[in-house]
A and B are shown apart, each in its own frame.
Chain A
Amino acid sequence: MWMYSFKRVLMGVCVMFAISMLSFGLTNAATDPAQAIAGSGATAADIEAIRLAYGFDKPVVTRYVTWLRGALNGDLGESYRQKRSVVSVIMERLPVTMILGGLALCFALMLSIPLGIFAALHPNTWVDRISMALALVGQAMPTFWFALLGIVVFSVGLGWLPASGVSDWRGYVLPAMALGYYATPTLMRLTRSGMLEVLEADYIRTARAKGLSRSTVVVKHALRNAVLPVVSVAAVQFGYMLGGSVVIETIFALPGVGYLAWESISLADLPVVQAILLVVAVIYVLLTLASDILNAWLDPRVRFA
């Protein structure tokens, strides 16, 4: 178990290095950061002045090594735009994204697990098909479209929820629903297939034979075993939600890391972009690692695969 965990950690570190190199190279190759910082109103002389001031005239490799040296010491650089440490910029925004991700995951689980159970209890019936359809709509519908639809109905039409911002808890409702709905089909299908498999097991037959109520059999015995893979996949989905929050946070103007990523990319604030990619990669790798270790602990066969 320890060797397995160690190997996964090592792989995670390699992944993070690779991501940092690729992201640094690609962001610097994608655009002229001096032009982006200067903006559309700048003259050529303005742009050149910025290029020299920020050191963009140096080779990319040199700049990457400088950045990496700082990152290994916990210094992710200074924001070109805000003129303060990137770490503080990100830490200000991270709580909103974590709250949004957490609420989105809760919404996804609250929707997908019951749907999965219903579908499994009534396989190949209209209940099953409607459950699948409801879940698939979430995956087929573009997230931004669902978000705008939510604004149309709940903000403009009913006036229940704000269209943007997080002045209070209501500001999280629509974004969480829009973000969480996308993860529903995966979790729902996993719940359904897990339940179908478990419901055929001998111990379930035994539980029924003992006269236990249907709800006890389904929830206490079947679901507890069927939902284990769902928990590990949910951990990975949480990482996905953190990365996918860019669109949702931008539409709803939530001051989170996703919105910060959008701003920083638009403004070519490369230190912030680089740091966000690293932070999201770290979180994703940690969640995947946790999921792998959990799976290995639950199913020893995985350790030797």
Chain B
Amino acid sequence: MTQGWPRYGVFEYLEYEMKRQFAAVGFSMLLALASSNALAQKSADTLRWASTASITTVDPYTNAHREALIVNSQLVWDTLIYRDPDSGQYKPLLAKSWQWVNDQTLDVQLRDDVKFHDGVPFTADDAVYTLNWIADPANKVSIQSNVNWIKSAEKTGPYSFRLNLKAPFPPAFEYLSSMIAMLPKDFYGAGGAAGANGRLVGTGPYRLVKFVPGTSIEVERFDGYFAGSPKGKPAIKRIIYRSVPDTSTQMGDLLSGGLDWMWYVPTDQAKRLSSVKNLTVQSSESMRFSFLSLNTREMATPNPLLKKQVREAIAHAIDREKLAKYVIGAGSSVPLAACYKTQFGCRQDLPQFKYDPALSKKLLAEAGYPNGLTLELTAWRSRDWTDAVTGYLNAVGIKTNVTFQQYAAAYEKVTNNTAHIYLGDWGSYSINDTSAVFNNFFTLAPNDMQQDKELTGWVKAAAATVDPEVRTANFDKALAKISSEVYFVPLWVHPVVYATTADLAFKPYADENPRLYLAHWK
């Protein structure tokens, strides 16, 4: 469906296509031959899970992978606050209470009955160390936006401290309940290596047993985990993570009994996998949504997207409902705005661009392109999905030169202003606030493809106050402009397909955070 060869290279395209075709055929054979030998490690009370991420450091701050940043981190370490995945309420975890002194100052009182896995009590010294270490840019925390709102922390008692923010930060609790895990004092030592103080421990429901960088992480239930934790006492004794970069191999492992849990099963394989006895396949909507970001900057050559009619033509050219239903698969839906529906401030009442290819062609003609035009599109996530979108564009005369590369290379075309359209996606790191989208894409930074000062003003105004009404008003204006100016064309919400052995009871959540500590054997 793509016009001509993609720009990234014939060989790479051929290699991708061959691998995709062979893998699809190979996996079909695999399913046909699959025995019902998908035995769980229930007998050994060990949950074995795999993902493609190669975890080279086990701590939550020198990582950019969700598997280490969130999934494993919440097994070994605890945050100050816990967000209940069912009710969305914030509950005490390591902190038993807290009070906002003002918009930038939070007083926190800690529990006094929590111990690290080596028996050492968790105190305010540990919390203050962690917060001050991660707030210092010199320590190179991987995802700075997760921590750069923190100014400092100061101890006010053996089990209390004061957290100072650089500016009012409305989603502070979202981060304190997910990204900001508490580490032992001097955890990084002088050199910045995790566990440099000899204490590679946490306060979480599991303790770290073995870590092989890039290969595996083994954790074991910590029987000294404090009573009264909202995480509860985990049922499964041992959890082992293995990095398996190829999804087909993961499926092979699952079918042959070498794995108990995997996620991101390709949607075209999910249905076939669900027909295998002794496996459970669940598709859950996630907060991640795909979108087209349309470049409205001046480029080296005349940019057709400066004309609003061209952008509207793009929006009307794509049948998003069909894509979500037939291409993306079960669990997907069409986002109604440039955010995820549960995120604070994400209005759902904006007018939608209906699929109307005739209108697209009319708009292109009005814009001066009666015979169509050619645009540069960069993408990185899924070749199939990219082809589906470019197929619709091609049908109305918008030819696309697709550059499909690794994320870093594709994203460079955005920051270098050499792509008209960026097909990207954003999971917001599971932060349930629209600012998690806006603060990444509409800040007048090099990756801001629209550079709209008025829009950025509203984004900053929403970030500068904790008043929910003021925030909502600014988010409303920002989302309305993004829609009316067609800066973003929200395409589909990503489903995450989980495949587990039938022996395992596991509940997925829309925040793309698998809480393995809640899993248990049936």
Contacts and interface: CB of A to CB of B under 8 A. Distances in A.
A92 B212 CA distance: 10
A241 B35 CA distance: 33
Contacts of B447: 43-44
A136 interface: no
Nearest to B64: A39
Interface of B: 18-19, 22-23, 26-27, 29-30, 33-35, 37, 50, 54, 56-57, 62, 64-65, 137-138, 140, 142-145, 148, 191-193, 212-215, 242-246, 248-250, 252-253, 255-258, 406-409, 411-412, 415, 427, 429, 439-440, 443, 445-448
A202 B388 CA distance: 68
Please give me the 5 A-B residue pairs with the lowest Cβ-Cβ distance, nearest first.
Answer: A39-B64, A44-B445, A36-B408, A163-B252, A157-B33
Contacts of B249: 148, 151, 163-164, 251-253
Contacts of A31: 406, 408-409, 412
Contacts of A153: 33
A249 to B, nearest CB: 9
Nearest to B246: A251
Interface in A145-173: 145, 148-149, 151-153, 155-157, 159, 162-165
A40 interface: yes
Contacts of B144: 42-43, 45-46, 49
Contacts of A36: 406-408
B35 to A, nearest CB: 7
Q: Is the interface of A mostly helix, strand, loop or mixed?
A: helix
Nearest to A44: B445
A35 B35 contact: no
A151 B407 CA distance: 29
B215 A38 contact: no
Contacts of A89: 213
Interface stretch (A5-13, A78-86, A112-120, A232-240): A78-86
A42 B252 contact: no
B258 to A, nearest CB: 6
A182 to B, nearest CB: 15
Contact of A144 (B19, B64, B258, B440): B19
A156 B193 contact: no
Contacts of A79: 56
A37 interface: yes
A42 B146 CA distance: 9
Contacts of B409: 30-31
Given A142-B22, A267-B54, A159 B406 contact: no
Interface stretch (A183-191, A223-231, A257-265, A293-301): A257-265
Contacts of A44: 415, 443, 445-448
Contact of B407 (A40, A148, A159, A165): A40
A38 B143 contact: yes
Contacts of A250: 245-246
Of listed B214, B245, B257, residue having the most chain A CB within 10 A = B214
A50 B245 contact: no
A167 B468 CA distance: 54
A252 B193 CA distance: 29
Contact of A268 (B29, B148, B408, B443): B408
Contacts of B56: 79, 81-82, 263, 267, 269
Contacts, number: 185
Given A42-B144, A43-B440, A157 B35 contact: yes
B30 A38 contact: no
Interface in A243-280: 250-253, 255, 259-260, 262-263, 266-269
A59 interface: no
B411 A35 contact: yes
A268 B142 CA distance: 13
Contacts of B192: 83
Contacts of A164: 50, 242, 244, 249-250, 252-253, 258
Nearest to A33: B408
Contact of B193 (A83, A145, A266): A83
Contact of A82 (B29, B57, B411, B440): B57
Contacts of B257: 159
B146 to A, nearest CB: 8
Chain B CB within 10 Å, residue with most, of A81, A92, A268: A81
Contacts of A40: 64, 407, 411
21 contacts: A38-B64, A39-B407, A41-B440, A43-B447, A44-B443, A49-B137, A53-B138, A82-B57, A144-B22, A152-B26, A152-B30, A156-B34, A156-B255, A162-B253, A163-B253, A164-B50, A164-B244, A253-B249, A263-B214, A266-B406, A268-B408
Contacts of A151: 30, 248-249, 252, 256
B142 A37 contact: yes
A75 interface: no
B439 A43 contact: yes
B19 to A, nearest CB: 6
Given A159-B35, A253-B243, A41 B26 contact: no
A269 B27 CA distance: 32
A40 B445 CA distance: 15
B252 to A, nearest CB: 4
Interface in A96-149: 142, 144-145, 148-149
A217 to B, nearest CB: 44
A30 B258 CA distance: 37
Nearest to A157: B33
A32 interface: yes
A84 B37 CA distance: 41
B143 A42 contact: yes
A78 to B, nearest CB: 10
B142 A155 contact: no
A148 B22 contact: yes
A263 B54 contact: yes
A155 B252 contact: yes
A171 B409 CA distance: 34
